[in-house]
Structures are given as C-alpha cells and as structure tokens.
C-alpha cells in the first residue's frame, strides 16, 4: 500500500470515518462524543483541529453560519442544505435540482470545487413548537384519545 498523500493519523482517520457515517451534519462536540468510543483519550481540541485540517484538504465540508455553531459534512458530492434557524439542525435537500445549475456554471468555464448553498427555515420539530405555525401541533398521549381502532 503506497503512503497517502497527506499524513493520516489514526485520530484523523477515526474522525473522518465517523463523519462519513453521520448523516446529520454534526458539530465538533458531537463528533468528539462519537470518536471517544474508539479513542477515549482524544480531546475536543484535537477533534476540532483535525476537522479543520480535513476541511482544508477538501476531505469534508465545513458548514459555517448561523448562531448555533459550525457543523461538518463528510459528503462531498454537490448537494443543497437546509438549516433550521431555531435549533441549527442541517439536513440534505434531496433531488437533482442542483445538477442543471452546475452544468450551466461548467459551461462558463468554472470548475466547482465545493458547494455552499444553504436554504433556511424551520425543521419539523421547531415548526410545531412555534405558535401560529401552519404545521400540526405535537401529538401527546393525553390529547390523542385512542379512537383509531379496536386493535390493542
Ligand atoms: Zn429546528
Ligand atoms: Zn450535507
């Protein structure tokens, strides 16, 4: 096996593996909690430093902005994000709507190295918690009498 182009420490490899597994665009703190299962002595500072190095190397995406802190994405394919303005959660926007736009840019001579397109809104949980929101209120056992049917 030839040596990697960049020196990949065990810690960095572990952080990268966890981030690629995660689908929820975690914060450094969340990644730290996951990586600690394999590397109990790793510090948050080490995780943060390695995340920055991975982002600079183009291995991961750094998702800045918002007041809820920086998040990271191990998925480097061009895709849209939607960020919840209330809790800071980030989700991927599914669909191929981005592809024609990227094709158009390529036609003008641009090579796309990373995408930073972000929609903003409220996630399902936050939308239901906001007064006057059009979403349905949260179901609670007290307010939902079992009128669905005779089963159970
Ligand atoms: Zn939310
Ligand atoms: Zn993403």
- Report the top-level CATH class of 77-133: alpha beta
- Tell me: pLDDT of 149 over 50: no
How many angstroms separate the first and last alpha carbons of the chain? 59
Going by the DSSP 8-state scheme, the letter that residue 52 receives in this structure is H
Q: Reading across the β-sheet that carries 90-93, which strands appear in turn?
A: 90-93, 80-84, 118-121
Q: Residue 72: which of 29, 122, 38 has the closest Cα?
A: 29
Strands 71-73 and 80-84: unpaired
| Confidence at residue 64, expressed as pLDDT on a 0 to 100 scale | 81
| Confidence at residue 32, expressed as pLDDT on a 0 to 100 scale | 97
Identify the nearest ligand to the CA of 89 by its number: 1
| Confidence at residue 108, expressed as pLDDT on a 0 to 100 scale | 76
Backbone angles phi, psi at 146, to 5 degrees: -75, 80
- Report the top-level CATH class of 7-76: mainly alpha
- Tell me: pLDDT of 138 over 70: no
Domain segments of the chain as ranges: 7-76, 77-133
5 Cα to the center of ligand 2, angstroms: 25
126 Cα to the center of ligand 1, angstroms: 4
| Confidence at residue 65, expressed as pLDDT on a 0 to 100 scale | 66
| Confidence at residue 122, expressed as pLDDT on a 0 to 100 scale | 94
- Tell me: pLDDT of 37 over 70: yes
Q: Do the Cβ atoms of 72 and 19 come closer than 8 Å?
A: yes
């Amino acid at each position: 096996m030839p040596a990697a182009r960049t020196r990949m420490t065990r810690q960095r490899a572990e952080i990268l593996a966890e981030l690629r597994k995660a689908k929820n665009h975690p914060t450094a703190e969340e990644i730290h909690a996951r990586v600690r299962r394999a590397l109990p002595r790793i510090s948050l500072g080490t995780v943060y430093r390695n995340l920055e190095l991975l982002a600079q190397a183009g291995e991961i995406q750094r998702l800045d902005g918002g007041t809820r802190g920086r998040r990271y994405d191990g998925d480097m394919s061009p895709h849209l994000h939607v960020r919840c303005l209330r809790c800071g959660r980030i989700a991927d926007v599914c669909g191929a709507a981005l592809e024609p736009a990227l094709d158009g840019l390529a036609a003008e001579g641009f090579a796309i190295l990373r995408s930073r397109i972000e929609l903003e809104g409220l996630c399902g949980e936050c939308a239901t918690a906001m007064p006057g929101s059009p979403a349905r209120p949260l179901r609670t056992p007290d307010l939902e009498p079992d009128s669905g049917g005779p089963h159970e």
